Structure 1
Amino acid sequence: MGLAGAYLAACSVGGGDETAAKSALRAAFSQPINDLDPHGPSSVDEATLLAGRLIYDTLVRRNGEKLEPAVAKSWEQPDDNTWVFALRDDVKFHDGTALTANDVKASLERVKAANTAQSTLWATVTSVEATDETTLTITTERPLGTMLVNLSLMFILPSAKMNTEGFFAKPIGSGPFKVESFTPADELALTSTDHWSGTPKLKEVSLPYLPETSSQITALRTGDLDILWPVPPDQLRELEGVEGIKLETVPSYVYYFNWFNCGKPPFDDPRVRRAMWRAVDVAGIVRNLFGEGAEVMTAPIPSTVFGHAEQEPYTHDPDAAKRDLAAAGLGSGFSTSLMWFSDTGPLADGLAQAMISDWAKVGVTVEPRNLEKAEWLRRLNEKEFDMELQTNTVTTGDADFTIGRLYDSAADRMGYRNPALDGILHQAHESSEESTRSDLYAQACKIVWDDAVGIFPAALISTYGLRSTVQNFEPAPSNQPDLRGVTVG
């Protein structure tokens, strides 16, 4: 069924059933949802996290800048290496079975063993014990100051079913919405459940993927979509002042980076990496391409994130870039490649081409490799790239999720290894004192920035386009909005 047809069938918009129209929502995120496994290879993928927030529960959840109880109603620390969580006794999975401490234990152990981007968050966990059905004890080999913020990302699955074949085609969670149907990279259809936090106002939520920006904008304007996000900066004029549409913006946790594969020549030489950064007119590109939709980065994480520390900017200086390349033995330039996928974020193709153009001016020929998302992800995980451009979301709002998770030598995400940085990150990971962690992440930001592990061009401002009939919606800096209280009038 086509987009408009599916929408009309579900909602009877335009003269149909008024009750149905108020109970269903169609919301389109700019990236396709390819996978509903919150512990698998896509565990930190924005689209998978978006779906996970709706389908599954966590022990702890973020509410603005605070962390609050969710499935865990309380917790205590008998000692620095031990956390004991008391669970609610009224949480049910979508099949009616009770969620118990054993399900949390199995889920955490599954994440830890998965060898994916989330696994490093749990590297220091030595044991997870379900003392009884509502008591969970987590023991670590050393203090884990980020325990609570990490748990806001650890989705709970039913232990008896989560490893069965085909489970994630229509997974069972305990979140406010359950899966009715899922076609990867096409559409996720959800219905509300009697959740422990209260039944959502909406009865149905559909998350279609529309690959063309023009189609997204048209669907919002005609009412075939209720919400669209993020609206690309170059498309805002198509929606500003349009009757029946409102725009809401929020400084986001989302930013662009261009990683170098620091484990292979020539990018194992920091002089080459710094030269590549100086060759790019970052400020000009961000200003001309994004306008008010982004700001120039001042650290390896956005200014909205805990742990951000402003750094000295790299000045656009092609002549200095050429001198740096010559000092590294590359005075005649070199050839390399850049991979990305178009839907990683707004204006990704334009950003890639602008950087490639600037590199050409200093003698570096860059082959553009615009890939399908699945192939891009495979190459990223296997480190089969020279440079790679993507957006990243600091989904927990804490520097540990990005700086601590990605740049530790053990993570080996882009071939960069720095024992001094490792020591700083381990201290920050262990401390529960915010002032101490802030100081440590300031040191970490400087190292990553000065070593030019990547180029960090733009922190994005997320703009949500909504039909005026959508009420009680709060834009989320993580791009993972909470839809429990949303209504459609």
Structure 2
Amino acid sequence: MTEHAAFTMDRRTALKTALGGGTLALAGCLADGASDDDFRIGAPWDVGSDPLEGGHALRRMGVTEALVAVDYDAEPEPGLATDWERVDDTRWEFSLREGVTFHDGTALTADAVVTSLERTVDAEAFAGVPIDVVEAVDDSTVGVETESPFAPLPAHLSRHEAVVLGPGSFDDGELTEPIATGPFVADSIDPGSQLRVVRNDDYYGETPAFESVRYEVVEDDQTRRMRLENGELEMARILPQEAVDSLEATDGIDVYTPEIPRIRFLTFDTQSEPFDDRRVRQAVTHAVDREALTDSVLEGVDDPAIAPISPEMTDWADPDLEESLFDPDRARDLLEEAGWTMAADDEIRRRDGEMLSIEIVTFDARSLPLIAEVLQGQLADVGVDLEITVLEYGTMLDTVSQGDFDAYLTSWGTLWYPDPDRLADMFHSEGDLYHGYENETVDALLEEARELDDREQRRDRYHEVQSIVLEDAPIAVLTSYTNVVATASTVSGYEPHPTEITYGLERIDLESS
């Protein structure tokens, strides 16, 4: 890789704007950061200045980088660290890439990495990662000690929250601007509106073709599509599955539909009626015709799914799970066994005079409300009354975190970081999903898998976890997930990343139209 002279962002020295206080102008630009020459991306997700607080767009836009990157097979690969070694059960050492400078011209050193990672380790997002000490072994080596053996450490250090920020990013310990090492430099950040980045001509790696890129927050699906078709965007992301056919028939537009490691699923409150009874959870799982669901509202773009990890994407998935769970007669039998019966002239089951009426909470993205409506009809066929409540995403999380739900319908990336330790987030009794599920065997398997070096031994344990939770049904996996991304046909070099961690802007160009 070519080494470049240091790049000095001397115009930033006048910046004293606190993060979160409106537009953050980073390089002397106008507040709106607009330029007719920008490559323009429209997506529904907000932008933030802090990687610990919603700053994922910074990573995807090529501003920030981490010690560990993620390759296009969803496996860890060298990032700012060229390699790493597990020295013993609880100690790792990461060798830093040479010739790397931050956007303000200061050198990437072990001390700078330690300062940045210590902030990450102290954050709530890393509460479940048992890092004890981060230290500089020498100028180009970072040591990490964990409290217990922790095999997925490199994968966790690839996360958005673990990106490395330079010392100039902070003033008295407070983050004032994200000065990082990526192929693009943050130029202006307007939360709720846009992020504009400019090319880092002194990047150690491949220099981008674009001088500037603007990410625009466009929440409405149809508005993103319309702006692409009108030439107001060069890329529109997270478009609805039902738009694929018409987009593919539109001149001047290319459509990408990669399946990614993400699922849509129901999460049950296993601590309260009616879903404290495993039979009722299983009944819902068997009542759902996933193929009919994907063929209807999802236009056959996504596939039915029953497990959190797809065997078509990685060997971390259990290949021996049955392919289909749809069995409405079995669902009716399970409900009968659980005491929910239905008279011949009734449409809804009852137990002790109480109707089997449940509420599903969801949010308006990734076609979830449409899926909820299909579930409403399919569950009615087995005597379950379903009410749907659509909330803002943050409100939904607040609601379910307080245990005020029967079930909620959501979507998760199951290799959000490239390791099946993500299953611990989903199914460990101290994990991140709000379901109240506790299984000592599952906890033990997940904890053992974290400690082991051998991939096959780890895989065996994760396969067993997937088999157990399919039977226990704390969640009901419904579909796989296909990212629908459309670009102007003049865009070349775009390759969708399976974990959505980057847009790969440094490899994209525009052909002459």
- TMscore range, shorter length: 0.7 to 0.9
Question: Where does structure 1 lack aligned partners over 5 or more consecutive residues?
Answer: 1-5, 12-19, 43-47
> 2:136 maps to which residue?
130
Q: 2:438 aligns with which of 400, 417, 440?
A: 417
| CA–CA separation in structure 1 for the residues paired with 2:439 and 2:118 | 28
The reply on whether 1:58 has 2:66 as its aligned counterpart is yes
| CA–CA separation in structure 2 for the residues paired with 1:221 and 1:476 | 23
> 2:301 maps to which residue?
293
Q: Percent identity?
A: 28
Aligned-partner SS, 2:371: helix
Task: Compare 422-431 and 313-322 and name the one that shifted more.
Answer: 313-322
CA deviations over 1:200-243 (Å, ceiling 9, x no partner): 22111111122222222221112111112233221122212322
| CA–CA separation in structure 2 for the residues paired with 1:165 and 1:264 | 44
CA deviations over 1:376-410 (Å, ceiling 9, x no partner): 23335555433221221134564524213321122
Q: Kindly tell me: are residues 211 and 164 of structure 1, through their superposed partners in 2, closer, same or farther at Cα, counting changes over 3 Å?
A: farther
Aligned-partner SS, 2:66: coil
Note the C-alpha offset of 1:260.
Answer: 1.1
> 1:14 maps to which residue?
none
Question: Where does structure 2 lack aligned partners over 5 or more consecutive residues?
Answer: 1-30, 342-349
Aligned-partner SS, 1:291: coil
| CA–CA separation in structure 2 for the residues paired with 1:291 and 1:226 | 25
Aligned-partner SS, 1:238: helix
Note the C-alpha offset of 1:28.
Answer: 1.9
Which amino acid is 2:334 matched to? D
> 1:327 maps to which residue?
337
Q: Kindly tell me: are residues 354 and 260 of structure 1, through their superposed partners in 2, closer, same or farther at Cα, counting changes over 3 Å?
A: same
| CA–CA separation in structure 2 for the residues paired with 1:352 and 1:465 | 26
| CA–CA separation in structure 2 for the residues paired with 1:197 and 1:443 | 41
Aligned-partner SS, 1:445: helix
Aligned-partner SS, 1:292: coil
> 1:336 maps to which residue?
358
> 2:215 maps to which residue?
207
Q: Kindly tell me: are residues 420 and 365 of structure 1, through their superposed partners in 2, closer, same or farther at Cα, counting changes over 3 Å?
A: same
> 2:52 maps to which residue?
39
The reply on whether 1:28 has 2:34 as its aligned counterpart is no
Which amino acid is 2:82 matched to? K
Aligned-partner SS, 1:214: helix
Map 1:373-392 → 2, pairs under 5 A: 373-392=393-412
Q: 1:176 aligns with which of 173, 180, 183?
A: 183
| CA–CA separation in structure 2 for the residues paired with 1:34 and 1:437 | 36
Q: CA RMSD in A?
A: 2.7
Aligned-partner SS, 1:296: coil
| CA–CA separation in structure 1 for the residues paired with 2:373 and 2:90 | 49
Q: 1:143 aligns with which of 149, 156, 161?
A: 149
Map 1:326-405 → 2, pairs under 5 A: 326-331=336-341, 332=350, 333-343=355-365, 345=366, 347-396=367-416, 398-405=418-425
Q: Kindly tell me: are residues 86 and 190 of structure 1, through their superposed partners in 2, closer, same or farther at Cα, counting changes over 3 Å?
A: same
Task: Compare 272-281 and 104-113 and name the one that shifted more.
Answer: 104-113
Aligned-partner SS, 1:217: helix
> 1:488 maps to which residue?
510
| CA–CA separation in structure 2 for the residues paired with 1:60 and 1:167 | 22
Q: Kindly tell me: are residues 205 and 379 of structure 1, through their superposed partners in 2, closer, same or farther at Cα, counting changes over 3 Å?
A: farther
| CA–CA separation in structure 1 for the residues paired with 2:374 and 2:498 | 26
Aligned-partner SS, 1:484: helix
CA deviations over 1:38-97 (Å, ceiling 9, x no partner): 334x5xxxxx53432322111011222253322112323332321111223533333333
| CA–CA separation in structure 2 for the residues paired with 1:428 and 1:438 | 8
Q: Kindly tell me: are residues 209 and 135 of structure 1, through their superposed partners in 2, closer, same or farther at Cα, counting changes over 3 Å?
A: same
> 1:316 maps to which residue?
326
> Per residue, is there more helix in 1 or in 2?
1
Note the C-alpha offset of 1:166.
Answer: 7.7
The reply on whether 1:68 has 2:106 as its aligned counterpart is no
Note the C-alpha offset of 1:248.
Answer: 2.6
Note the C-alpha offset of 1:465.
Answer: 1.2
Q: 1:10 aligns with which of 10, 14, 35?
A: 35
CA contact (8 A) 1:252 1:460 kept: yes
> 1:406 maps to which residue?
426
Aligned-partner SS, 2:385: strand
| CA–CA separation in structure 2 for the residues paired with 1:183 and 1:56 | 17
